[in-house]
Amino acid sequence: MPIRSIKQLALNGKKVLVRCDFNVPLEAGRITDANRIDASLDTIRYLLAEGAAAVLCSHLGRPKERTTDLSLKPVAEYLSQALGHKVTLAPDCIGDITGRMVVDLAPGHALLLENLRFHPEEEANDRDFAHELARGKQVYVNDAFGTAHRAHASTAGVTRFITERAAGFLMLRELEALRALTENPAHPYVAILGGAKVSDKIGVIRNLIAKVDAILIGGAMAYTFLRAQGENVGKSRVEEDKIDLARELLAAAVKHNVAIVLPIDHVVAESIEPGPTVAIAREIPADRMGLDIGPATVAEFVERLRGAKTVVWNGPLGLFETPEFAHGTLAVGEALANLDGVMSVIGGGDTAAAVAGHPWAARFSHISTGGGATLEYLEGIELPGVKALEV
């Protein structure tokens, strides 16, 4: 069913509830990565320019109760700077005082509601809470792709009470990129998967096996697959209870004529402690663990990417937070970014964090703001936050 764009809505003079994803990392009250806020600015600017009164809302972190640490105050300050006019923070997301502020909000102005998750009813998708959240707004806009895989009051329940609804520009960009991966993707189509656990990616692998031409696997999850092939992986991280499943997935790939490409060499160390002594190994010694893909694997992965028309990447290829183990992720990332004629989509989360700040990262077709949502979409699961926007 169709989803409307905010461009299709009459916005002038309307109070618009805008679900944003302002769930940004904070250190001592300072925002350390504002990408998610920046990604929604064009939606907010458009709403204001069209004469809407924008009531912005978001969750931040996982508060058990109201706490100043997880107040959206730093976000209100950041938005005020970025938009060039003051964005006031309401004391709550519902209630009389906030309700009055919404009534008084003039067209062309923005108000930020306080952290939605200060109320457990938000995650419980409580009907009354959703009703309260909707009070006084005539239009609902969802731009929070990063939370689209959750059926919460602000992402799903609220649409029972506001019928005029649409996706913001960020949500539309995210969905367009994901559609390119699932609806008639251009071939050759290659998936790169990494990260800590096979268990997180089983659904994705199952679903992608029917769609892609090759899956390149790195990160810790590769070791469970290598064990399934009978290789020695030393002290590398292995999910013992997933070895049979890895074997099954390898067999399914053969059946579908999909190449699963595993590392052929590794950057190894004794432990994950900082300042490690590292070595490159084809065979992992019994007292070492594999913490990054080695140079021969990088070359093999890059070779497999050459000529690809569609590439999706989810999960770092090594313990990238430690510089000694970041090379594989960065080398493959840079090579992919520099390929011509390819639709390259970077799943959010750790993969986006790993490539962030490198000048070549601007050359990917799309870097998602939602790791969990992207994964669920790639598993073939319908996203409730998207479903709720259908009209």
Question: What would the DSSP string read from start to end of 110-169?
Answer: EEE---GGGSTTTTTT-HHHHHHHHTT-SEEEE--GGGTTS--TTTTGGGGT--EEEE-H
Check binding of 25 to ligand AMP (CB under 6 A): no
Cross-strand bridge partners of residue 57:
19
* Range 255-294, binding ligand AMP (CB under 6 A): 290-291
Handedness of CA 164, 169, 175, 179 (dihedral sign): positive
Report the C-alpha gap between 139 and 128 in whole angstroms.
18
Q: Closest approach of Cβ 196 to ligand AMP, in Å? A: 4
348 binds ligand AMP (CB under 6 A): no
Asked if 372 is an active-site residue, the reply is: yes
Q: How far is the CB of 355 from ligand AMP (least distance, A)?
A: 13
Residue in the block written with tokens 């999910």: 239
**Is 36 part of the annotated catalytic residue set?**
yes
Q: Tally helices (H) and strands (E) across the chain.
A: 13, 17
Q: CB 35 → ligand AMP: shortest distance, Å?
A: 17
Of 157 and 349, nearer to ligand AMP (C-beta) is 349
Handedness of CA 326, 25, 386, 106 (dihedral sign): negative
- Single out the segment in contact with ligand AMP by CB under 6 A; choices: 113-121, 141-149, 196-204, 299-307: 196-204
Least distance CB 375 / ligand AMP (angstroms): 9
Q: Is the dihedral of CA 21, 27, 31, 36 positive or negative?
A: negative
In the list 112, 220, 260, 336, the residue contacting ligand AMP (rule: CB under 6 A) is: 220
Q: How far apart are the first and last CA of the chain?
A: 7
Q: How far is the CB of 372 from ligand AMP (least distance, A)?
A: 10
CB-nearer residue toward ligand AMP: 197 or 387:
197
350 binds ligand AMP (CB under 6 A): yes
Options 198, 217, 319, 386; binder of ligand AMP; rule CB under 6 A: 319
Per rule CB under 6 A, is residue 197 in the interface with ligand AMP?
yes
Residue of 203, 372, 380, 387 marked catalytic: 372
Yes or no: say if 55 and 17 are a contact pair by the CB < 8 Å rule: yes
Contact 97, 128 (CB under 8 A): no
Among 104, 176, 241, 321, binds ligand AMP (CB under 6 A): 321
Picking from 368, 388, 390, the residue whose alpha carbon sits closest to that of residue 145 is: 368
Residue 197 is a catalytic residue:
yes
Catalytic one of 294, 328, 347, 349: 349
**Smallest distance, ligand AMP to C-beta of residue 197, A:** 5
DSSP state of 35: H
Task: Determine, following the binding rule CB under 6 A, whether residue 196 of this chain makes contact with ligand AMP.
Answer: yes
Does 315 participate in binding ligand AMP (rule CB under 6 A)? yes
Active site residue 328: no
Site stretch for ligand AMP (CB under 6 A), options 115-123, 184-192, 251-259, 311-319: 311-319
33-41, 85-93, 134-142, 316-324 -> range binding ligand AMP (CB under 6 A): 316-324
Cβ-defined contacts of 235-239 (< 8 Å, 24+): 235/270, 235/286, 235/287, 235/288, 235/289, 236/266, 236/284, 236/289, 236/290, 236/291, 237/196, 237/289, 239/197, 239/198, 239/199
Residue 8 to residue 71: CA distance in whole angstroms: 33
Closest contact distance (angstroms) between CB of 296 and ligand AMP is 16
The residue number with the shortest CB distance to ligand AMP is 195
- Please report, for residues 31, 55, 71, 163, 354, the alpha-carbon distance to residue 91 in angstroms, rounded to integers and kept in the order given: 20, 13, 9, 26, 35
* Catalytically annotated residues: 36, 197, 349, 372
Kindly list the residues in this chain that would bind ligand AMP in the complex (CB under 6 A).
194-197, 200, 219-220, 237, 290-291, 315-316, 318-321, 349-350
